[in-house]
Amino acid sequence: MQEQTTDDRIVSGTIPSDRARLLLILACHVACCCVSLLVVVDSYGVPLRLAAIDGSRVWAAAINVAAFAAVAPIFAFARFSFGYALGFYFYTMILGYLWLVAFSTFPYNHAMASVSAFASALAFMAPVLLINSPAKPRFALTPDALNKLLSFILAVAVAVIAAGAIYNFRFVSFSDMSTFRDELKFPRALEYAIGITSGALLPFAFACFLRVRMRLRATLCLVLLALFWPITLSKTSLFAPLWLMFLVGLSRILSIRMAVIASLLLPLALGVLAAALYARGLLPERTFYTYFGTVNFRMAALTSSALDFYNDYFSRNDLMYFCQIGLIKSFVTCAHQEQLSVVMQNAYHIGNFNASLFATEGIASVGMTFAPLAALGCGLLISLGNRASAGLPGDFVLISGGMMLNILMNVPLSVALVTHGALILSLLWYVTPRGRS
């Protein structure tokens, strides 16, 4: 599967103008995020515990973001890897927090939290952007063995969907999804199987089938992914096929690093456009809130706002010291016996609030002071995935890891590694045969 990508040629300097285009699109992304977040503050400020917009807070937010915006050019110079894509997504999340914290009404130390978030982002990005040398596989699948593995993945997916449908299979309205989802109860083994199959196995199989131009089987992967929605009632499952096809389209018309940036910029920009049309009475309220609430709020701003809630809660309560991880919890006494998402629901009544590694492995586990060290450790773990996937085509890595990008924005790294199959995906990358398809 190995070939010289457009991104490789850019890094080697044969397409210097693309670096300028990357810098321009990065500047547009930062600006778009800030405008989008202003709309978030105005439209969702009450549930997020944010103050109303006023000039002084806007200036404070702009100053917070300005320093972090200076970090963005690193994405115009770093080589593509899975860590590059994840690093950019987390960069966007921290950028959002640095803007929203200026409007936070929670009484914790905002200045210290901002410094901690900034340092955590740098600590995470250092290894995921710099450590990407290939790890020579001790074992690699032959093309025939890979084909058999892909057929096995399809069979597993069918079996998991059939098992899940026994417990739940219903089509509900968009607004009722969260209500019915709270009622779902699956056996633990089936929960793992659903997470691993939809988060890692099917996206990997989809990317492989696309690579060898087996379009019928690639389409089957998308159909199977879509069938997880009536089982899990999850927005992630609902939009998974569209998201993967979106990444496919971007990777075919743009350089791979440009595709990563555009994968966030374009949806957010469309939300900003929707807000402008809605403000002028040119877009129905329901249409605006359906799109903006799903993409700009849920996909982006809420992941940033999680840091605000977690900083507030753990500035006043005992830290977790990683005992949210089941294996550790069985050996130590934890301050909280319930799952962390339930703890946050009981404290703020905003739903079961899972959050990324910056909030969980960082703030919740060791506090804002030592959160950068936790972020560094997580970054080193992600860099192992970089090495496992090094040598594979960039578009293949982006598409096969496309679901994992969204998952890691919303759940702890420890959960993503096991429950959603990030470890298995890294292993699959590691044994995937290199060479021309």
Q: What is the DSSP letter of 197?
A: I
- The helix-helix angle for 256-279 and 82-100 (nearest 10°) equals 30
Q: Look up the domain containing 418 and give its range.
A: 6-137+249-431
Is residue 38 domain-resident?
yes
- Is the distance from CB of 114 to CB of 61 less than 8 angstroms? no
Tokens 């294996």 -> residue: 327
Q: What is the pTM of this model?
A: 0.93
pLDDT on residue 252: 95
Q: What does the pLDDT look like over 187-218, one tens digit per residue?
A: 999 999 999 999 999 999 999 999 999 999 99
> If DSSP codes are grouped into helix, strand and coil, which group holds residue 218?
helix
Residues of the chain with pLDDT under 50: 3-4, 6, 8-14, 437
Is residue 191 domain-resident?
no
pLDDT on residue 437: 42
Tokens 């569209």 -> residue: 242
Looking at every residue in the chain, the average pLDDT score rounds to: 91
pLDDT on residue 325: 81
Is residue 92 domain-resident?
yes
Q: Which CA distances in Å does 244 have to 120, 221, 240? A: 29, 11, 6
DSSP string, 414-436: HHHHHTT-HHHHHHHHHHSPPS-
Is residue 368 domain-resident?
yes
Q: Which CA distances in Å does 190 have to 161, 165, 180? A: 10, 11, 18
Q: What does the pLDDT look like over 83-99, one tens digit per residue?
A: 999 999 999 999 999 99
Tell me the residue length of the chain.
437
pLDDT on residue 14: 46
pLDDT on residue 332: 74
Is residue 197 domain-resident?
no
Is residue 165 domain-resident?
no
pLDDT on residue 11: 47
Name the amino acid, one letter, at 265. L
pLDDT on residue 338: 82
Domain count, the chain: 1
